[in-house]
Amino acid sequence: MYAIIESCGKQYKVAEGDTVFFEKLDAEEGKKVTFDKVILVSDDKNIEVGTPYVKGVKVEGKVVANGKGKKIVVYKYKAKKNYRRTQGHRQPYTKVEITSIKLATDKKETKQEVKKEVKA
């Protein structure tokens, strides 16, 4: 079973037990995180696509670590003008271990069954 979720302006494909690096989330290490913007859910038989999100489906995870990525060097210069600037950048990230994908129970079916019982 896997799901495609939206977080930090990006889409991530996740499954139970996966470790995913998100851009910096506002959560401390060891805390639970819930992602409710699920775009697609797939189990062995069915694929459910949301418009834009699948209702009632949640992906839960546990924050493993907060940190910074590798340093990249940004170098700017203008030819023949003696202009040179060097700058470094380390992107902050949050490492999350996906613990579960919780599917929604079909509330439509239960509502239809209740209506049929009331009419009968």
Three-class SS of 50-108 = CCCCCCCCEEEEEEEEEEECCCEEEEEEECCCCEEEEEEECCEEEEEEEEEEECCCCHH
CA distance 117 to 120: 5
Q: Which residue matches tokens 């470094």?
A: 88
Query: How distant, in Å, are the alpha carbons of 74, 83, 85, 86 from that of 80?
Result: 19, 8, 14, 17
Mean pLDDT, the chain, rounded, equals: 89
Residue 114 pLDDT exceeds 50:
no
pTM: 0.75
* pLDDT class of 44 with cuts at 50, 70, 90: confident
Give the three-class secondary structure for 32.
strand
Q: What is the mean pLDDT of residues 33-57?
A: 92
Mean pLDDT within 1-15: 95
State residue 43 phi and psi, 5-degree precision.
-110, -165
Residues shown for the chain: 120
pLDDT at 86 over 80: yes
Check pLDDT > 70 for residue 116.
Answer: no
Confidence of residue 115 (pLDDT cuts 50, 70, 90): low
Tokens representing 28? 């401390």
